[in-house]
Each structure stands twice: as structure tokens, then as C-alpha cells.
Structure 1
Amino acid sequence: MVKRFLVIGFISLTATIYAQDSIVQQNDSIPVQVKNVVLETENRPTFKHSLGDLTLKLNEEGDRFMKFGLNTQIWLRNTENNPGTLVNNLPQENTYDAGLRTLRVTLQAQLSPAYQIYLQVGVNNQSFISGGAAGNGAGKKPAIFFMDAYNELAIIPQKDFKTHQENKFNLYLGAGLHGFNGISRLSNASTSKMLLGDLPIFNYPNIEVSDQFARQIGVFVRGEYNKFNYRFAVNKPFAVNNQPNIGETVDNNQPGKLSYSGYVMYNFLNKETGSTAFLPGFYLGTKKVMNFGLGFYSSNDATLSQPVEGIYKRNNESVLSADFFTDLPIGRPSQEMALTFYTAFYRYNFGKNYLRNISIMNPGDTDYNYTGNKALEGPGNARNLLGTGNLWYTQLGFVLPKFSETIKLQPFASYTMKDLEGLNEIGSYFDIGANLFVFSQSAKISYQYSSRPLYDQVDKKIFDRKGEHILVFQLSF
């Protein structure tokens, strides 16, 4: 019934929006202006590729401004729970819910051509049972927090301040709570332009452990040299003092060592540039992009293990990655088709048999009275996220031939292979679905089905699979 509800809802929304097609065409590309605030839009005769930015210009030249952004992502979901799950203290094999996956408000203040302040505030992962503040119920009134808060200085700007000529080499220096991560393109991903309904999360190896929602506090440099794009950072990880059981390795950075990260990519075709940390997951064929990247992350004494009772050992954390991304228009220009492809290889080393589970808006708790075969991952929609070992991730999207002036359809699929030291069988994870873009890249409705393996607690081999249906409503500018 729930699956039918999700499909019917998706089809109904599609039909409703398509019925408005001819009306919307009449009002295409009309800039909105309120006093000094301008909603910038692209003047295109067909599909608009961006809703633009809400920008307050502070001078006539436009090199001093304040830019505001908003990103909301709403989920309707049907989850097949792992065995032995309680939902609101009752056993439940299948759960349907609605949730606020992300809500972000951003401010980018270019106070002078050389100086920038960037702030991002919001909430994540609020459902009927998760994300609530104390005293307000399990899901009510989640706490708002800063995801980004940093200052940035142009040491060598992209354009010379006086001549306005492009510099082949540019360098920016920043400090604060930031997301200029190393490792991979996906570790610097834009949540407003994801190819899939969500990121795979293992692209953030320290998520909500020694970082704050994929951010750490420190100093970073970023910039370009010809066709190379680079970013490096030295940060102070957030303190984590987990204690391991016998034979276990956990996050524990009590000695307080710094972390070092970097990512360098080479642009074979059009250059990708940006004034923030975030790289898009698609361009819908509006640019010819093909990049190859290498990245790393390291922090000494970041984990703690207990090989035998009473004996503890500290371990260094290291991550290496190589990835490839391309987004290209294909076929006749009038069809406006596009191909998006991304693949990445990660080598994680956190110490012997390190293994970490995670869940997104998990609806469940453990049923301790359940006598069946429980999953190593835990209750609800939990999965083995990452661990010491190798991970390979690939995603593919294809924009179908043009059938509307205001709508585009992009089927997608992804595959993840996890070969982790703490498990006795390689795991395969699958995602499949489609994006329905409405008016622009910034407004979309997505359907995604995800399939995950479940591991036995004893032999650590796969004994079952579970799935999850997600209908996503996203708007960003």
C-alpha cells in the first residue's frame, strides 16, 4: 500500500506540473527585483537551468555583495526495517514516514573584492521520531546549528583587482568551521545538486564523530592553477573519547592530534570554478566537464583498539581516494540530452577491523525480546557504512530527450562495493530512481529505491537484504 502511495504521488505531481507547462512558458526569464534585491535568472528560450541567486549588491561594480541561499529537502519514505526493530516501542517490519532531511539557509558576504564571510545554518534529519530537542518529544523542535562559519581572504584573486584580468594561478586563504574537505569530489559535494536522492555518506569518513556534519575547524587554502583545482586544510578534529571492547577499534582522538586533508582535480574540458566548498553532482549538459581527482585525509592517533583485555593500542587514520567525473551533452542539441558519470575508489585505514554503522533518520530501536536472527548493523534502516578496507562507488545519470520547455527527466543508478576487513563477505549496495526537474536544476522531485545487505552478528556474512523507497521534494536557490 505504501509503495503504491509513493508511486501514485510521484505520477500525480508529474501530471500536475506538466499541465502548467504552457502557462509557465509565457512568464519565462522574468527577473524579479525588490529594491536592491535581485533574483537573477538566466534568459534562456527553453529550460531554465537555475533559479538564480538572491543577491544584494553593495556597489555599482558588483564586486561587493551579499548573496542569500535556501535549500530544503523533504522525504516521504517506506523503510523495510532490519530484523528485531521496535518503532515507538512496538515491533514493526515496515515503516512509512515523512521527514525534513535538510533545511539550509546560507549567507555569502563579499564585503570587499578581497574578503568574504560564509555562513550556513539549518537543521537535518527531523522525522516523527528523530531530531527532537529535549522535552519536546522524540521528533519535535530540532536544534538549529551552524554548518559553515568561516572567513576567507583573496591572496591572489581569480581576477586582478585593478586590471580585471584572469590570473592563471589564484590562491585563497580561509579559517573557521568549513567544508573544504580532502579525499574526493563527493567529499566536497553540493547537497543542492546531488545526482541521487542522497549522498552515500561514506564519502564523509568522520561524519558526526570527529567532525560536525562533515566540517572541522581549521585553516584551508584553495584555488586554481591553469586546469588544476586544489584545496588543502589543516584542522583540529572534534574530541571523541569512545572506549573499545575487546577485539574492537573505535574513534578516540584523546591525544588531540591535527588532521590534514587535500584534494586536487584536473579539468580536461571546461573549468569548474566556485567561491564555496561545494561541487555539483550534475550540470544537465550545460557544460562539458571531465575531471580526474586525487585526495587524502590523515590524522595520527585517531582511533583506539583493545586487542586483548586491558591492553590498548592507538592507531593512525588515513584515507586515500581517486575519482573521475564527467557531465556531457550528447545527441542533437535540440534534444538537450546529457550524460553524467562519476566513479570513486577509497582506501580506508582506521586500525584493525574498524567498522562503523550508520542510519539516516532511523525510525527504530532494538527489540531485545526478538529471538530471530538480528543484523550486525542494528535496528531500523542501519547499514554498515565504512571501515578499514576498500570501497568502490559508481553513479550514472542520463537526461532523456526533451519533451517539455519546463521539465526534464533524468533516470539514475548507483552501485557500491564494500570490501571491509571487519566483515567476512563483500557487500553490494544498489540505488535506482529518477529525477524530475521542474523549471530548473534547483527544483526537483526524485524517486529512489535503495537495496542494502544485512550481515549476521556471528559469522559476519550476508544473510538477508532490505530495501527503502524514498520520494524527495527539493528546492534550492
Structure 2
Amino acid sequence: MSAFTAGAQKIQDGKLWLNEDGSNYFKVTLISQVWIRNTDMNPGTTINGYAKNNYTDIGIRRARLQAYGQIADRVFIYSQIGMNNFNFLSDRKAGFFIHDITGEYEVVRKQLSLGAGLTAWNGLTRFSAPSVGSIMGLDAPLFEQTTNDVTDQFLRKLSVYAKGKLGQLDYRLVMSSPMAVQKSNGYSAALTEYSTYSPMPAKMQWQGYFQWQFLDQETNTTPYATGTYLGTKRVFNIGAGFQYQPDAMWRKGTAINDTITTPMRHFAVDAFYDAPLNASTGTAISAYATYVHLDHGQGYIRNQATMNPANGSTQPSVLNGAGNGYPSFGNGSLWYGQVGYKFKNNLIGSTTLMPYASLQHASYDRLANKINYYELGTSWLLKGHTSKLTFAYQNRPVYETLTPGAKAIQTERKNSFVVQYQVFLN
């Protein structure tokens, strides 16, 4: 433990103490996640007009700086700036942007805090707001962020929220003001028989998440949920959550000039277990499972294409779009699970390994075949989450709409191989 004293202040455990006992403090963290990957492209993919079946690229998946602290009794401030998905196709010198900025007041000690701002305090599931520095595998289950960059800013929303703990119950309730869908990437004003987010002035979105923490209690200082504790805690939680927004969606009706608006209604249940298996050797297990019911409206579908290495397609029948996209978001239901095993400490010198597997299984009304997207990988923990290499294999389905108006069918599968290096100053 290092300490630097300057007058009444000192730096200890990475925190700048603002009073004698450290109950008031300020802290700064920094994270870098860099990917190198090889991707089998979706059919018809082009990069700047040139056809590509396979491509290798390097990109910055995330770069973040957090600054936050309990700056006075009952008063908490949180901010985060950064960038996501910077690769060879990105605008240059785009710079960092604000991810979060919130102020919070503790009304009842530990039981109730009220806050407001641009924030990731969301409802629905545990990983609707993941702690990116502690992800077990390559990435978080992004489909749990149901409105990501459509009516929010990389999952952050303009919100007021209440959160706290009542015994073993950890809760959050949020009222959010959705951002204009017209500003989202790829927005189209076309009205079809398939539901999309309505461009009309949005009504408030309501969301919540409640979890019963059976074993060790987790902190709720920030909204971000830990991916894995690497055996340093014994955690078992069961949670449930919801998201609701009136008249969020619209589609064309059967009559001429008929427009149908419907609410967005999602609910979910999940369970998280993360615990040491042998405290003396350091072996541990981490597991997570969730069921999510998604009601976006008839035929809604949206692709997920993380740090897409392509920007064009010559085959409009391919529902996945260009590059590495696949229809991750939709109207229907999904199951997701992940499990990992941490080997003993000092398995390879002073380092160890944590292999993992995950599966997204979804049934959406626009697709004739169910989605099965899976990932297998291993994290080489050079120094816990502070320095780690993750090697991942991803396999995704490709869907095509061969007959206009018919459901899309799965025609093939594509692979990606990714190596990520993470450095995390926490």
C-alpha cells in the first residue's frame, strides 16, 4: 500500500483522500482494449467499393477514462470519457466523447440514492451496464443493451434514477428521456410493415432491475456490473428487470395511410454465480445465464456489427448487411449463457489462464431459423484484469431474404478470430 501525504490530503489505493478517514475521495481510472482479428465477411461485402471475402484488421475496441468520487458526505459524482470502435474506416481525430456525467445524493444511507445525468443506470439485466474492465471473455452480451446507439449514446441515457440496497435486495429504478432516433446511424424514415423506432417526439422510458444477493454483497457505487471477480468474491445473485416505453415503435397498417404505434416492452430474468473453487490454489468458476423477452413490435430486426471492418454490400438480400454483422436484436425471445473456469494461480510462471464459452440462442419473428451465435476463448491473465490477452473464436449465422416479404432463412455460417490485449489502471 502506497501513500502520498500533502497537507490534509493523501493518495492511497489509487484514491485521493479528501478527508482524514478517506470516506471522501476522488479516483481516476484508465483502460485500453486493442483488437487484432481476422473476419470471414458476409456475402457481398465491400470495403470502399472493393469486394472482400476475408479481412484482417487492428482496432481500438475501447479507450476510457473514468473520474469519480464521494466528494462530500452524501454527494457522489461520476464521469467517463472515451471512444469505441476506432479502426481503419473511422473518422480521424474524432476524439473522446462524454460517456457518463452524473451527480448523485444519498438520501438514506445505503438504502436510497437519487441521481441524474447522462448515465448507464439501466434496467432489464445485469449486463445492460457491464463493467468493461472485468469482462470474462472478449466482450459483453451487447444485445442486453436493447437500444444501444438507437435512442441512447452507447447505452447511456439522459435519466433520473433511484438506487440502493434493502438488506440483500439491490435495486435500481430509472426514468429516461430517449434521444432522437433521427440521429442514429443508418436511420431511415421509411415506414414498412416491420416495426422500427418511431421518429415522433419520444415519451419517457421506464426501466428497473432488482437482484437478490445471496452471498457476498456487490457494490452499487456505479451502474457497471463486474464480469468476473477471478475468485476474489463468492457471489450468487438472481435478478429480474424490465424496460417500457409507450408508443416507442411504429409500422405501416393494412389500410392506406394507416400508421400503427406500439409500446416497447421488455422483461428478463437472470442469474450470476462467481466464486472460488479452491481458495489455496486460486481456481474459480464464473457463470451467467439470462432469458429475455423482447417486444419491439412486429418484424423488428437490427444487426450487431462490432467495430465493423466493412462499409458496403452488393447483396441487399443478405439480412446481416456488410462485414461481420448478424441480426442480434429482434422481436421475440432469447437465451444467453456463459461459463468460465480459472485455473490455479501461477499456472504459467506468475500467470494463469481462464477458458470460457458463451452462446446466444434467439427466436425472432422475422427469421425462419433460430439464431445460435457462439464464442469460445481463453483469457491469459498476465496480471488479473490489469494486463490480459484474450484469444477468441466467434461463429455467426448468415440470413438471406430470398423471397420479398418472406422470413429470412439461414444460408451459411461465418467465423472470426480475435486477439485482444487489455491494460487497465484501476
TM-score range, shorter chain: over 0.9
CA-CA distance at 1:113 after TM superposition: 1.7
Equivalent of 1:151, from 80, 97, 103?
Answer: 103
**Counterpart residue type for residue 42 of structure 2:** N
Matched position secondary structure for 1:320: strand
1:38 aligns with 2:15: no
Structure 1 residues not aligned, in runs of 5+: 1-29, 41-53, 133-139, 159-169
Sequence identity percentage:
30
Matched-pair contact (CA < 8 Å) for 1:84–1:374 = no
Equivalent of 1:376, from 285, 298, 319?
Answer: 319
CA-CA distance at 1:239 after TM superposition: 1.5
Match of 1:137 in 2: none
Cα pair distance change 1:278/1:367, threshold 3 Å:
closer
How many Å separate the matches in 2 of 1:269 and 1:148? 30
CA-to-aligned-CA distance 1:364-410 (integer Å, 9 cap, x gap): 13343x6xx95211110111021110010000000012325731210
Match of 1:275 in 2: 221
Match of 1:141 in 2: 93
Equivalent of 1:410, from 354, 357, 365?
Answer: 354
CA-to-aligned-CA distance 1:438-458 (integer Å, 9 cap, x gap): 223332110111100001122
Root-mean-square deviation (CA), in Å?
1.7
**Counterpart residue type for residue 228 of structure 1:** L
Matched position secondary structure for 1:340: strand
How many Å separate the matches in 1 of 2:33 and 2:214? 32
How many Å separate the matches in 2 of 1:336 and 1:31? 25
Matched position secondary structure for 1:202: helix
**Counterpart residue type for residue 422 of structure 2:** Q
**Counterpart residue type for residue 300 of structure 1:** P
Equivalent of 2:381, from 437, 444, 448?
Answer: 437
Higher share of residues assigned strand: 2
CA-CA distance at 1:358 after TM superposition: 2.4
1:362 aligns with 2:308: yes
How many Å separate the matches in 1 of 2:116 and 2:247? 24
Match of 1:215 in 2: 156
How many Å separate the matches in 2 of 1:441 and 1:37? 26
Cα pair distance change 1:91/1:37, threshold 3 Å:
farther
Equivalent of 1:465, from 410, 413, 425?
Answer: 413
Matched-pair contact (CA < 8 Å) for 1:249–1:305 = yes
CA-CA distance at 1:460 after TM superposition: 0.7
TM-score when normalising by structure 2: 0.93
Match of 1:317 in 2: 264
1:326 aligns with 2:282: no
CA-to-aligned-CA distance 1:278-297 (integer Å, 9 cap, x gap): 11011111111100000000
TM-score when normalising by structure 1: 0.83
Match of 1:392 in 2: 335
**Counterpart residue type for residue 401 of structure 1:** K
Match of 1:474 in 2: 422
Matched position secondary structure for 2:144: coil
Q: Map residues 98-109 of structure 1 onto 2, 5 A cutoff.
A: 98-109=58-69
1:83 aligns with 2:20: no
CA-to-aligned-CA distance 1:344-368 (integer Å, 9 cap, x gap): 0000001111111121111213343
CA-CA distance at 1:142 after TM superposition: 2.1
Structure 2 residues not aligned, in runs of 5+: 183-187
Equivalent of 1:284, from 204, 223, 230?
Answer: 230
